[in-house]
Amino acid sequence: MVRITEDLRLALEADDPEELEEIIERGDPEDFGTFQELIENEETSTTYRRRALYALGKWPDRETDAVNTIESVLPRLTELERITAVSTLRRIGTSDARELIVSKADDDSPDVRRQVVKGLSRIGDETAMDMLRELAKDDETEHVRELAQEKLRRLQGE
């Protein structure tokens, strides 16, 4: 079990994200490490894991560490956790984050693939655009194809 300070526990359990935002702004490396441990620990509740993923995605100057942590757990996350992970990667926006987003383009869940489309459209580099084109053309779910087509139109200024 991961040891969590009282202020971190309160922030993770709060309905309002303000307390979690304060932890992120404080930028204590020990808190970042605790969030990593929560994400990696198989006993962590989905709620805590999702909030820890959110925090890692907003943590300044730790993008590589955040991406590496997400990569290490991505194969074993639940659907809701994968959605949060892809959203977090979208926020990070680095090329490594984009590569992980692309790796989820064939996820079984259409909701995860919708997050993939949103993530790729936010990153918007050529690799992201190529994958968006593939999803717009070939995704098995109509609403994912339509979202990808819409994002492509916006990005191409149509």
Delimit the domains of the chain by residue range: 1-61, 77-158
pLDDT tens column, 29-41? 999 999 999 999 9
Average pLDDT score over the chain: 95
Average pLDDT over residues 120-127: 94
Q: What CATH architecture does domain 77-158 belong to? A: Alpha Horseshoe (1.25)
pTM for this one? 0.93
Separation of alpha carbons 144 and 110, rounded Å: 7
Q: How many Cα neighbours within 13 Å face the side chain of 151?
A: 28
